[in-house]
């Protein structure tokens, strides 16, 4: 729910047709709870699944660094709410094929450019 997460998630939302055209299925993974992610999804009208990884199990399997979480305040439907997360993960992007093989990993994600990068990488695989 950081500004970077929001920009990245909204870019994926806004490019859904182009992602679908290259055969991509977007899934976001976060250290936020299911309740937090449901609020985030609603707040930004996201059109892809968000997985809760509060214990960092998924992040750990993929080698993504995690650290202690914290509290943030957000407004939803005119109401100010506190959101707590037990852990926070670094912003990494993976492209994984249907067999579960990691085809691409980006450990230096630029939130506003990530969607375009992913689309270009997927297109390059198809050449």
107-124 confidence digits (pLDDT tens): 999 999 999 999 999 999
Residue 71: both structure tokens together: 């509290």
Query: How high is the pLDDT of residue 1?
Result: 64
| CA–CA distance, 32 with 97 (Å, rounded to integer) | 25
Residue 48 pLDDT > 70, yes or no? yes
Residue 103 pLDDT > 90, yes or no? yes
Active site residues per annotation: 5
Domain ranges in the chain are 3-117
Report angle CA 86, 111, 41 to the nearest 5 degrees. 55
Under CATH, which number does the domain 3-117 receive? Answer: 3.40.30.10
Residue 87 pLDDT > 80, yes or no? no
Query: How high is the pLDDT of residue 86?
Result: 74
Mean pLDDT value across the chain: 89
Q: Rounded to two decimals, what is the model's pTM? A: 0.86
Query: How high is the pLDDT of residue 121?
Result: 95
Residue 84: both structure tokens together: 């707590």
């Amino acid at each position: 729910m950081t500004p970077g997460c929001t920009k990245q998630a909204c870019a994926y939302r806004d490019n859904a047709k182009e992602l679908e055209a290259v055969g991509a299925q977007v899934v976001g993974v976060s250290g936020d709870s299911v309740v937090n992610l449901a609020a985030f999804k609603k707040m930004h009208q996201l059109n892809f699944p968000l997985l809760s990884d509060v214990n960092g199990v998924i992040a750990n399997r993929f080698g993504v660094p995690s650290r202690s979480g914290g509290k943030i305040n957000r407004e939803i439907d005119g109401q100010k709410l506190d959101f707590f997360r037990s852990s926070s993960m670094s912003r990494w992007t993976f492209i994984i094929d249907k067999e579960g093989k990691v085809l691409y990993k980006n450990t230096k994600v630029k939130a506003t450019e990530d969607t375009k990068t992913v689309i270009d990488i997927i297109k390059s695989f198809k050449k």
